[in-house]
């Protein structure tokens, strides 16, 4: 395979290690929830090309909007005014919760999730005057040095990352160190603040549903309880909605909304651009304000071509009832996955909501010992059934499903049958 050989020869090892399948897959075409490789084989993309494809591969309305903008003016650096990003900022701000209408949400555009994470860290530190940050142990927040510094799993973090970060045990209801429940995990936040920090916090980063962590949902009351404790220590609640945002959880536009909590800063990327490079920090106006005292400039931030795609994504989410589809199709898929758990002993847990689901493989349901080998075998076998999934979790024992949110009920049957075949073939 020429493409694979070329990639292997010319990509740095730092980029080429993370190849998911044993044999290289070379893709040529995508349409909505489907992908085709160079040999013309069709796949259902349950990975959503890494959760980036929110409304569908090469969605015609998103492509048309980006093409029209690229033809007129591809880039307009952010020191000048342009109507597209200005409109998009207004539209994004309007998606934020504002129950009493008194929150002024403002937007800072970046090009990726980790850039937005870095910015949120800086914003929280500038506003509070504190340095210490809290993050959950099994969260993933991105590849830049600052984003790695708040990423807990050591295999996802390289040497020499900046500090002032304390990690807190995640409220994993299946295998968390304090079992199921919320209070012990909230006590853990307080204990961490008192023992592992200066006691003065800049902020705590939380994904409302952890993505790479293996679809770990924050239980009811956790995010609001965390916000209380962190704010009491002078800090901010920062929601990383890079994976869980844009309607993916089915019940709300933003995953944190389920808990009724309103964060101080929200980080978003991936699904915002449906594949176009785009990220954003959306913050309360007074929290972003102190950063104006110093220089901060993202050359490609607010790029009109990506923002035109982003505006089209928001429009399609509304017009195609994407969030509703995530809810109903996600519920149907969850039910089928639960049926598979009854049938196949290797499945220890099935979880998630909307189109953000996972099954976790164990060697023994009682001990819950993670089973990355079975996970890898099922992952490979699913490829033969035309399904692309993703391995995730701290132990690589989860199969994550985060497809384009246009997935249909017919696809659910195919996913069920493919997984069933894969488990039966073990
Ligand atoms: N936060 C979360 C929750 C993510 O999943 C990711 C990327 N997988 C990031 C941040 C970083 O985004 P990017 O890769 O666009 O820098």
CATH of the domain at 364: 3.90.1150.10
Of 287, 304, 319, the residue at which a domain comes to its end is 319
Q: Is the CB of 241 under 6 A from ligand 1?
A: no
What token pair was written down for 76? 């307009």
Mean pLDDT of 390-401: 95
Q: Is the pLDDT of residue 85 over 80?
A: yes
60 within a domain of the structure (yes/no): no
Mean pLDDT of 100-118: 97
392 within a domain of the structure (yes/no): yes
409 within a domain of the structure (yes/no): yes
Residue of higher predicted confidence among 21 and 115: 115
Please tell me the predicted confidence (pLDDT) of residue 7: 87
User: What is the tens place of the pLDDT at every residue in 281-301?
Assistant: 999 999 999 999 999 989 999
Of 291, 319, 347, the residue at which a domain comes to its end is 319
Please tell me the predicted confidence (pLDDT) of residue 23: 82
Task: CATH number of the domain at 194, please.
Answer: 3.40.640.10
Q: Is the CB of 243 under 6 A from ligand 1?
A: yes
Q: Is the CB of 112 under 6 A from ligand 1?
A: yes
Q: Is the pLDDT of residue 48 over 80?
A: yes
Q: Burial, 99: exposed, middle or buried (Cβ in 10 Å; 0-12, 13-18, 19+)?
A: exposed
Element (H, E) at 39: none
Pocket test for ligand 1, best of 270, 278, 393 (most atoms within 8 A of CB): 270
Q: Is the pLDDT of residue 182 over 90?
A: yes
Residue of higher predicted confidence among 12 and 175: 175
Report CA(268)–ligand 1 centroid distance (Å).
Answer: 9
Band of pLDDT at residue 372, cut at 50, 70 and 90: very high
Residues 50 and 91 in one domain: no
Buried b / exposed e over 42-55, threshold 16 CB at 10 Å, is ebbbbbbbebbbbb
Taking CB atoms within 8 Å and a gap of at least 24, the contacts of 413-418 are: 413/336, 414/44, 414/385, 414/386, 414/387, 415/44, 415/46, 415/333, 415/336, 415/387, 416/333, 416/336, 416/337, 416/339, 416/340, 417/385, 418/382, 418/385, 418/386, 418/387
Q: Can you tell me the ipTM of this complex? A: 0.99
Of 319, 349, 368, the residue at which a domain comes to its end is 319
Q: Is the pLDDT of residue 16 over 90?
A: no
Q: Is the CB of 52 under 6 A from ligand 1?
A: no
Report CA(157)–ligand 1 centroid distance (Å).
Answer: 13
Mean pLDDT of 10-38: 87
Q: How far apart are the first and last CA of the chain?
A: 28
Report CA(75)–ligand 1 centroid distance (Å).
Answer: 24
What token pair was written down for 301? 């931030």
Pocket test for ligand 1, best of 111, 141, 391 (most atoms within 8 A of CB): 141
Structurally, the chain folds into a number of domains equal to 2
User: What is the tens place of the pLDDT at every residue in 118-149?
Assistant: 999 999 999 999 999 999 999 999 999 999 99
Residue of the nearest CA to atom 13 in ligand 1?
113
Q: Is the CB of 245 under 6 A from ligand 1?
A: no
Mean pLDDT of 150-160: 91
Report CA(41)–ligand 1 centroid distance (Å).
Answer: 29
User: What is the tens place of the pLDDT at every residue in 204-251?
Assistant: 999 999 999 999 999 999 999 999 999 999 999 999 999 999 999 998
């Amino acid at each position: 395979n020429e493409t694979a050989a070329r990639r292997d020869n010319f990509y740095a090892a730092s980029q080429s290690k993370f190849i998911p399948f044993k044999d290289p897959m070379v893709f040529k075409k995508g349409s909505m929830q489907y992908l085709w490789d160079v040999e013309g084989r069709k796949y259902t993309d349950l990975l959503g090309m890494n959760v980036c494809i929110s409304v569908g591969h090469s969605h015609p309305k998103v492509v048309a909007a980006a093409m029209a903008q690229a033809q007129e003016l591809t880039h307009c650096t952010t020191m000048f005014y342009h109507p597209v990003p200005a409109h998009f900022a207004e539209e994004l701000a309007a998606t934020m919760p504002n129950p009493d209408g008194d929150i002024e949400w403002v937007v800072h555009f970046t090009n990726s999730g980790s850039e937005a994470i870095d910015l949120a860290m800086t914003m929280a530190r500038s506003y509070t005057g504190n340095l210490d940050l809290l993050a959950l142990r099994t969260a993933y927040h991105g590849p830049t040095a600052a984003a790695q510094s708040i990423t807990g799993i050591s295999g996802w973090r390289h040497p020499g990352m900046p500090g002032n970060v304390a990690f807190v045990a995640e409220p994993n209801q299946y295998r968390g160190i304090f079992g199921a429940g919320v209070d012990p995990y909230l006590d853990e936040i307080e204990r961490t603040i008192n023992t592992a920090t200066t006691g003065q916090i800049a902020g705590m980063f939380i994904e409302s549903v952890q993505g790479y962590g293996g679809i770990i949902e924050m239980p009811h009351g956790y995010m609001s309880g965390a916000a209380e404790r962190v704010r009491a220590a002078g800090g901010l609640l920062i929601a990383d909605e890079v994976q869980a945002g844009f309607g993916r959880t089915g019940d709300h536009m933003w995953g944190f909304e389920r808990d009724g909590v309103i964060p101080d800063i929200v980080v978003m990327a991936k699904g915002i651009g449906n594949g176009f490079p785009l990220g954003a920090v959306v913050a309360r106006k007074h929290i972003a304000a102190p950063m104006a005292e110093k220089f901060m400039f993202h050359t490609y931030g607010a790029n009109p071509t990506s923002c035109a795609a982003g505006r089209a994504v928001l429009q399609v989410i509304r017009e195609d009832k994407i969030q509703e589809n995530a809810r109903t199709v996600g519920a149907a898929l969850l039910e089928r996955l639960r049926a598979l758990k009854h049938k196949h002993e290797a499945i220890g847990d099935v979880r998630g909501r909307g189109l953000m689901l996972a099954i976790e493989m164990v060697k023994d349901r009682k001990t819950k010992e993670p089973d990355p080998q079975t996970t890898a075998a099922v992952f490979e076998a699913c490829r033969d059934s035309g399904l692309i999934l993703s391995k995730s979790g701290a132990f690589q024992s989860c199969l994550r499903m985060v497809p384009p949110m246009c997935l249909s009920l017919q696809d659910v049957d195919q996913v069920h049958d493919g997984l069933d075949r894969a488990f039966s073939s073990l």
